[in-house]
Structure 1
Amino acid sequence: MILTVTPNPSLDRTYEVPALERGAVLRATADRVDPGGKGVNVSRAVAAAGVRTTAVLPLGGTPGALLAELLTAQGVDVTAVSIAGQTRSNISLAEPDGTLTKINAAGPELTPEESALILETVRTRSGGATWIACCGSLPRGLRPEWYADLVTRAHEAGARIALDTSGPALLAALPARPDVIKPNTCELAAAVDRPLATLADAVKAAEELRDRGAGAVLASLGADGQLLVCAEGAFHGTAPVSRVRSNVGAGDASLAGFLIAQGAGPRALASALAHGAAAVQLPGSAMPTPRDLRPEAVHVTRDLPLDLPLSDMSEAR
């Protein structure tokens, strides 16, 4: 069972538009509403693969109730922590060429009591979990060390921890020794406070984060594939994509694929690549099912192209 924790979940509304024109009245050619938040997406992808998953979520108001309803319909076991504020709603505008414009709301401010209740809920629900995925930005009211506290408590319960966050929250959590972290190119560069021009730079940055406490680093490099630096060594992989329809949740699908494949080594990296490549070819934040995957097209190597220029330095959370 894979348990996910998303301290700042959302409803994701995606509108497909012919072109984004500032100040104009735009008519959507298609639209959809999906449960949102990085950990939420991990649970959705895990459930789509037929693996049991529980999502621990602070939920409030009508948006929170709808989010729980949508997740339950997708086979995710929802453990809701009731909060006074309203769950946020995010908006994405998707253009035919794959360009995506996102508007992310700040979300509610959590009280100290609500923060403590989330941590206690994770503790009580973590029995039997093989992995706990802690994902996304921290909402207002939670200090940067909150994820570090969660990692420590989860380890005490005997679970392995996958952490997908950035900035001060990521740096504060490293001494707690998360088993795997999943930055994108920009987040990896920010964590070591320098630009990353080549794959060799990314490998060095990942090794530094391992020295600071991360068990393994699974880095999304956008169009340049994915990088895994772990105790077994460094691996790089790519997967072909015929058409990018939406990259919302693609990194989360990758993390789900990694954890489904036991969360270690080149086999797990290959699964991450297959899930990520499938996700970007789906609308909105739809998560891939096994029939969407093309594992035979994935290429993973230990012979790293270290001089590969990193092209995607604009990916945002």
Structure 2
Amino acid sequence: MILTVTPNPSLDRTYEIPSLDRGEVVRAVGERVDPGGKGVNVSRAVTAAGRRTVAVLPLGGAPGALVADLLDAQGIEVASVPVAGATRSNVALAEADGVLTKINAPGPELSAAEQEALLDTVRRHAPGADWIACCGSLPRGLAPSWYADLVARAHVAGVRIALDTSGPALRHALRERPDLVKPNAEELAEAVGRPLATVGDALKAAEELRARGAGTVLASLGADGQLLVDGDGARFGSAPVALVRSNVGAGDASLAGFLLAGGRGAEALASAVAHGAAAVRLPGSVMPGPAELDPGAVTVTARIPLDRPLSEPAT
């Protein structure tokens, strides 16, 4: 079982539009409403693979009730923590050429009692988990060290923990030596305090995160592929994608694929790449199931293309 923790979940509305023209009336050609948040997406991908997951998340107001209903309809077990504030609602505008514009609301502020209830809910479900995946930004009220506390508690319970966050929350958590961190290129650049222009730059940054406490680094480099850096060295995985419909949740699908395949080694990296490539071919934040995966298109190698420029350099 994979236990996911999403401290700042959302109700996500995605509109597919021909193009975004500021100041004009834009008519959508497609619309989706999905339960959102990085950990929620991981749980959705795990469920799509036919595996068990429990999603821990604070929920409040009408948007929170709809998130719970949508997850229940997908067969996902929800361990919700009631909060006074309303769950945030996010909007994504997906243009026909693949450009995505996201508007993310800040979300509610959690009280001290609500924060402790969230930690206690994780503690109660941790004994049955193979992995705990802690994902996303922290809501207002939670200190940057909150994830670090959660990592420490997970290790006391003997459970492996994967972390997908950034900024101060990531820096604090590294001190508690999370088993896995999954940054994208921008988050890698932010963590090491310098721009990344090539795959080799990303590799050096991932190695630095390992030196600072991460057991394994799974770095998403967008269209350029993914890097896996662990105690056995480094590997690079990629897969061609002819048409990108939406990259919302693609990194979350990758993390789910990695954990579903055991969370270690080349096979897990190949699964992560296959899940990420499948996710960007789907609308909104739809998570891929086995039918959407194309493992044969994935290439994994220990020969890292160090000089390859990143399609989108991270600053």
* TM-score where L is the length of structure 1: 0.98
Report the Cα distance in structure 2 between the residues aligned to 1:288 and 1:198, rounded to whole angstroms: 29
Look up the equivalent residue of 1:215 and give its one-letter code: G
- Equivalence for 1:180: 180
List gaps (5 residues or longer) in structure 1.
none
Q: Secondary structure at the match of 2:171?
A: helix
Matched residues in 2 for 1:116 and 1:160: separation?
21
Identify which range, 266-275 or 195-204, moves more after superposition.
Answer: 195-204
Q: What letter matches 1:68 in structure 2?
A: A
Aligned length: 315
* Kept in 1: contact 2:197–2:314 (CA 8 A): no
**Residue equivalent to 2:81:** 81
Q: Give the SS at the match of 1:143.
A: coil
Matched, 1:218 2:202: no
Tell me, what secondary structure is at the counterpart of 1:169? Answer: helix
Alignment of 1:1-317 (within 5 A): 1-313=1-313
Contact (CA 8 Å) 2:195, 2:314: kept in 1 or not?
A: no
Tell me, in whole angstroms, the C-alpha distance in 1 between the residues paired with 2:235 and 2:314: 23
Q: Distance in 2 between matches of 1:201 and 1:14?
A: 33
Task: Measure how far apart 1:314 and its partner are.
Answer: 5.9
Partner SS for 2:312 = coil
The separation in 2 between residues aligned to 1:314 and 1:39, in whole angstroms, is 24
SS of the residue aligned with 1:282? Answer: coil
Deviation (angstroms), 1:113: 0.8
TM-score in terms of structure 2 length: 0.99
- Which secondary structure does the structure 1 equivalent of 2:32 belong to? strand
Moved over 3 A (4+): none
SS in 1 for 2:274: helix
Q: CA RMSD in A?
A: 0.9
Say which SS state the counterpart of residue 79 (structure 2) adopts. Answer: strand
- Which amino acid letter does the alignment assign opposite residue 264 of structure 2? A
* Mapped contact 2:189–2:314 kept (Cα < 8 A): no
CA contact (8 A) 2:197 2:313 kept: no
SS of equivalent to 1:310: strand
CA distance in 2, matches of 1:15, 1:214: 37
TM-aligned CA deviation for residue 311 of structure 1: 2.0
Structure 1: how far apart are the matches of 2:85 and 2:61? 7
Q: Secondary structure at the match of 2:41?
A: helix
Q: Read off the aligned partner of 1:57 and give its amino acid letter.
A: L
1:65 partner amino acid: A
SS in 1 for 2:311: coil
8 Å Cα contact 2:60-2:84 kept in structure 1: yes
How far has the Cα of 1:54 moved from its partner? 0.2
What is the CA distance between 1:31 and its match in structure 2? 0.3
Between the aligned partners of 1:312 and 1:179, the Cα distance in structure 2 is: 28
Alpha-carbon offset, residue 43 of structure 1: 0.3
Unaligned runs of 5+ in 2: none
Shift of 1:198: 1.5
